[in-house]
Structure 1
Amino acid sequence: MKLGLDRRTGLNRFLTSWKSPEDPGAGEYSFKLDVNGSPQLFLSMGSKWIWRTGPWNGLGFVGVPEMLTTFIFDIRFWNTGDEVSMEFTLVNSSTFSSIKLGSDGLYQRYTLDERNHQLVAIRSAARDPCDNYGRCGLNSNCDVYTGAGFECTCLAGFEPKSQRDWSLRDGSGGCVRIQGTNTCRSGEGFIKIAGVKPPDASTARVNESLNLEGCKKECLNDCNCRACTSADVSTGGSGCLSWYGDLMDIRTLAQGGQDLFVRVDAIILAENERKKTFFHKKMMIVILAVGVVFFMIPTICSSWLIMKKRKGKGRQCKTLFNMSSKATRLKHYSKAKEIDENGENSELQFFDLSIVIAATNNFSFTNKLGRGGFGTVYKGLLSNGQEIAVKRLSRNSGQGVEEFKNEVTLIAKLQHKNLVKLLSCCIEEEEKMLIYEYLPNKSFDYFIFDETKRSMLTWRKRFEIIIGIARGILYLHQDSRLRIIHRDLKASNILLDIDMIPKISDFGMARLFGKNQVEGSTNRVVGTYGYMSPEYAMEGLFSIKSDVYSFGVLLLEIITGRRNSTYYHDSPSFNLVGCLEPMERRQSLGYSRSITRKVKSCK
């Protein structure tokens, strides 16, 4: 595949989305190579940029660090008088890979999983908030790894344009230069920001004849120069990339990135030097303290290992000290351990805890996808680029190890197009985790209850989703070797894959029925009120009818686009089901009336 501009013919090669999944006409999204300034790839909706790769630095695009490690393409880049273009060719010609730009603007790269003969999404644009173009506005840096809760910080010498918006964690207004500062006097210099994706390079100047020191000198000679960096790092650093005017879309990267030198006045520079001196003094104290601690580590580790061996399980002591780098990525699968100890041939693997920690950046907040009744779900990244979802069960979830293993074995034996696929699990000490396939379109409630995103769900697409959910339920109740009652069917537990195919998820509350068992009971009613059948909510009785009732509520939500839990007529007891019951009694639901009019009658 080749993208870019042929200056001789004027031909510009780029990707364009379809108008809709059913209409192959040119859509509003495009993925192309920007040939202005220092070339970079960008994803746009019309003229609005959504995401960009950062400039080409001789090794790859700065904002896509995996190009240097797990990238399956060999990239050739040309920037001459005749053309500015790049060409992707597979390193391994036997590998199948494709790139898709959906009608919803979702850009993803797929690779064929030869074991399952399925296409797996292993790369997508905008992985976290800082990947969104201009997330923090002008003259700022976006860093999701600070742990401070707000990812936006102004560059040295700048302050928020609106302190009120900043305090509300809205950084889109960006930053302006602090009053009284001036970078066009004697004594000014540069402050280095390490490991970042440089600013939007479409207006940057490129001078290939200068080294970094020459680049800084040239920047200082022009009062309008704001920042600079090396244009090519493939040979240790050469060429000059400089910005004149406001800086847009800087972000800190977990790995890779470049050093950006931001120009500041003499006062800011002196303050920064004082902070560095104070920091170095503190570091000396810390180093001395750490030296004492590490002198004691062998003794501590030995004692710790002895205690763990007595319990018959545990991690090696090195696991405690190998979680440090946010740039760590999964390098090896753990050896497969069969879950079924009765000799059955199961393909499911256990992952060591250290491997899951590496894949999720130590359960980083930025990797968090959501939270449910039994735990938190994190996004993970394997060494081959495959994205996974890790469900980390809370320690007070009420499930013991044996119960958990039984549940894992149960889900592992359920294989259906409309059920989420379990890839692996992890049981170590008090940690219990399930590793699922990652589905980029999130859960169904993300679309159906949003005024804007709901427009993507045509009636045909809603019907297809309804049929898919029904097939998944039928498989659980009738077509599988086991009879499973899910007990928590709701919109947030219906996940959507890249093709908007629904997959039932979250079997934490599911129950296994015997072949001839019709009904079960419990003293501990679990699930989501609004989706529970009356006999289950009030008496603890459940059966396949419980799931059918939940499916009916979900069906109403899909048709109306409204939550069942929303109150109507200002009555807490009058939800969506209660609103439609009078219509059902009057047998008016079957009339050919506008869905919108029927829903409005509930207001």
Structure 2
Amino acid sequence: MTCFGLCLGGKASPPHNRVVEIDEEISTIENARVYSYRELRAATEDFCPVNKIGKGGFGSVYKGRLRDGKMAAIKVLSVESKQGVKEFLTEIKVISNIEHENLVKLYGCCAEGDHRILVYNYLENNSLSQTLLGGAHSSLQFSWITRTKICIGVARGLAFLHEEAQPYIVHRDIKASNILLDKDLTPKISDFGLAKLIPADLTHVSTRVAGTLGYLAPEYAMRGQLTRKADVYSFGILLLEIVSGRCNTNKRLPIEEQYLLERAWRLFKKGELIQLVDALLGDDFDVDDACKFLKVSLLCTQVMPKSRPSMSTVVKLLTGEMQVDDEEISEPGMLSDLVSLRNQKNTSSGSLSTGSGKQVDSSSSANTTATHGTMTFTTIDDRKS
């Protein structure tokens, strides 16, 4: 059966001077291989629907085989997406010059005519939102050992971005749909379209809010103050999701259980954090380890940015090189406060907006759609655990 290609005919092309500007910017980026559109069309069998593995706010992602035999994840940006062009260039600039075991690898890009395509290494096991948080939608088994490997791997990837990359990189959209898994379930941080490169001599930058409500740090969501600690907060939420096996927001649950972070704080105060551990693990987990991971998540989500640990410290806490001090844990920044803020903003101005005019995504709750991803997917239903 012949597969028909992605129909791009009849759509408005970007202005000629904008195309030239994009081509010139790409030509100045080192380590960015340029693929022809013809080559990528052949790799995906003319962008055959059966090869589509994801869809995000700025286009679709296809599995394909390149000329050298490598499997690749090929993201085709929608031609109508104005924001996508900026994020296309940002992603190439950020990820083409860095490499780490826990970051996706950029093979190259295509900027031919009005086509904007990113080519990444193909990761067999999709994203955490599709697998771990997808429940019955995935056949993968996430043992406690596997979950600890994923948590520590993501922490190491962020520590690299925050402390080894020069200039250092704030990701701005750490969430389950942006953590991809290879055949060995090694985690890879993806989607650098919203990333900010911040010189070492700056303590923070002020910017409009971009990212996903539910993972946003309070100071960033409310004041647009961006530091590495915003990523630390997002990681804390992700850590809670991995240990508990549920999304950070689930409106189907009783009101007192809808927000995962708030429930974690209540259980911590009662000395009952163990209740948050995913019931699917049964007795197959280390109780002390699980409680330690949950306490680290509370440290990462403290209201005051200075109270949150650095990502290198988080790695040491998770691996046992450092001990968690319960006395350092105070009340975290609550999602319900940010939801109230969003509702106020929606009432007064229509939506919380980002620096490039995009709306902030809603949290990973049921019936929402995740966007901004290099390989983000329509959010799956919440598990009621």
Tell me the TM-score range normalised by the shorter chain: 0.5 to 0.7
Give the greater-gyration-radius structure (CA).
1
Number of aligned residue pairs: 270
Does residue 548 (structure 1) correspond to residue 229 (structure 2)? The answer is no
Does residue 486 (structure 1) correspond to residue 171 (structure 2)? The answer is yes
Alignment-mate amino acid for residue 514 of structure 1 = P
Deviation at 1:429?
2.4
Alignment of 1:111-260 (within 5 A): 145=3
Equivalent residue, structure 2, for 1:371: 55
Deviation at 1:479?
1.4
Separation in structure 2 between the aligned mates of residue 455 and residue 380 of structure 1, nearest angstrom: 23
Deviation at 1:573?
9.0
- SS of 2:116 mapped into structure 1: strand
Equivalent residue, structure 2, for 1:512: 197
Matching residue within 117, 125, 149 for 1:433: 117
Separation in structure 1 between the aligned mates of residue 258 and residue 206 of structure 2, nearest angstrom: 27
Does residue 499 (structure 1) correspond to residue 192 (structure 2)? The answer is no
Equivalent residue, structure 1, for 2:92: 408
Separation in structure 2 between the aligned mates of residue 387 and residue 569 of structure 1, nearest angstrom: 40
Deviation at 1:455?
6.4
Equivalent residue, structure 2, for 1:120: none
- SS of 2:108 mapped into structure 1: strand
8 A Cα contact 1:454 1:561, kept in partner: no
Change beyond 3 A, Cα 1:463–1:454? farther
Matching residue within 9, 25, 44 for 1:360: 44
Separation in structure 2 between the aligned mates of residue 578 and residue 539 of structure 1, nearest angstrom: 22
Structure 2: 5+ residue runs without aligned partners?
Answer: 6-15, 283-290, 295-383
Separation in structure 1 between the aligned mates of residue 25 and residue 224 of structure 2, nearest angstrom: 35
Alignment of 1:464-479 (within 5 A): 464-479=149-164
Separation in structure 1 between the aligned mates of residue 165 and residue 18 of structure 2, nearest angstrom: 37
Change beyond 3 A, Cα 1:536–1:375? farther
Alignment-mate amino acid for residue 508 of structure 1 = G
Alignment of 1:566-577 (within 5 A): 566-567=250-251, 569-571=253-255, 574-577=258-261
Higher helix share: 2
Change beyond 3 A, Cα 1:460–1:363? same
CA deviation digits over 1:171-217, x for unaligned, max 9?
A: xxxxxxxxxxxxxxxxxxxxxxxxxxxxxxxxxxxxxxxxxxxxxxx
Equivalent residue, structure 2, for 1:26: none
Equivalent residue, structure 2, for 1:564: 248
Equivalent residue, structure 2, for 1:447: 131
Higher strand share: 1
Equivalent residue, structure 1, for 2:72: 388
Equivalent residue, structure 1, for 2:213: 529
Deviation at 1:505?
0.4
8 A Cα contact 1:349 1:423, kept in partner: yes
8 A Cα contact 1:521 1:541, kept in partner: yes
Separation in structure 2 between the aligned mates of residue 503 and residue 431 of structure 1, nearest angstrom: 26
8 A Cα contact 1:444 1:492, kept in partner: yes
Alignment-mate amino acid for residue 542 of structure 1 = L
Separation in structure 2 between the aligned mates of residue 566 and residue 516 of structure 1, nearest angstrom: 40
Deviation at 1:513?
0.7
Separation in structure 1 between the aligned mates of residue 276 and residue 18 of structure 2, nearest angstrom: 67
Using structure 1 for the length normalisation, give the TM-score: 0.41
Separation in structure 1 between the aligned mates of residue 93 and residue 118 of structure 2, nearest angstrom: 11
Deviates more, 1:376-385 or 1:506-515: 376-385
8 A Cα contact 2:133 2:246, kept in partner: yes
Change beyond 3 A, Cα 1:498–1:372? same
Change beyond 3 A, Cα 1:516–1:397? farther
8 A Cα contact 1:567 1:576, kept in partner: no
Deviation at 1:352?
1.6
Separation in structure 1 between the aligned mates of residue 101 and residue 18 of structure 2, nearest angstrom: 39
Change beyond 3 A, Cα 1:568–1:577? farther
Using structure 2 for the length normalisation, give the TM-score: 0.62
Higher relative contact order (CA 8 A, sep 6+): 2
Separation in structure 1 between the aligned mates of residue 204 and residue 193 of structure 2, nearest angstrom: 19
Change beyond 3 A, Cα 1:560–1:383? same
CA deviation digits over 1:83-137, x for unaligned, max 9?
A: xxxxxxxxxxxxxxxxxxxxxxxxxxxxxxxxxxxxxxxxxxxxxxxxxxxxxxx
Alignment of 1:292-331 (within 5 A): none
Separation in structure 2 between the aligned mates of residue 592 and residue 564 of structure 1, nearest angstrom: 16
Structure 1: 5+ residue runs without aligned partners?
Answer: 1-142, 148-309, 315-336
Deviation at 1:407?
3.6
Change beyond 3 A, Cα 1:478–1:398? farther
8 A Cα contact 2:264 2:276, kept in partner: no
Deviation at 1:446?
2.4
Separation in structure 1 between the aligned mates of residue 260 and residue 275 of structure 2, nearest angstrom: 20
- SS of 1:448 mapped into structure 2: coil
- SS of 1:428 mapped into structure 2: coil
Change beyond 3 A, Cα 1:543–1:365? same
Separation in structure 2 between the aligned mates of residue 568 and residue 401 of structure 1, nearest angstrom: 37
Matching residue within 538, 556, 567 for 2:222: 538
8 A Cα contact 1:423 1:436, kept in partner: yes
Change beyond 3 A, Cα 1:312–1:580? closer
Separation in structure 1 between the aligned mates of residue 275 and residue 49 of structure 2, nearest angstrom: 48
- SS of 1:469 mapped into structure 2: helix
Change beyond 3 A, Cα 1:382–1:513? same
Separation in structure 2 between the aligned mates of residue 584 and residue 501 of structure 1, nearest angstrom: 30
Change beyond 3 A, Cα 1:459–1:572? closer
Deviation at 1:419?
0.3
Separation in structure 2 between the aligned mates of residue 513 and residue 454 of structure 1, nearest angstrom: 40
Aligned-CA RMSD value: 3.3
8 A Cα contact 2:88 2:193, kept in partner: no
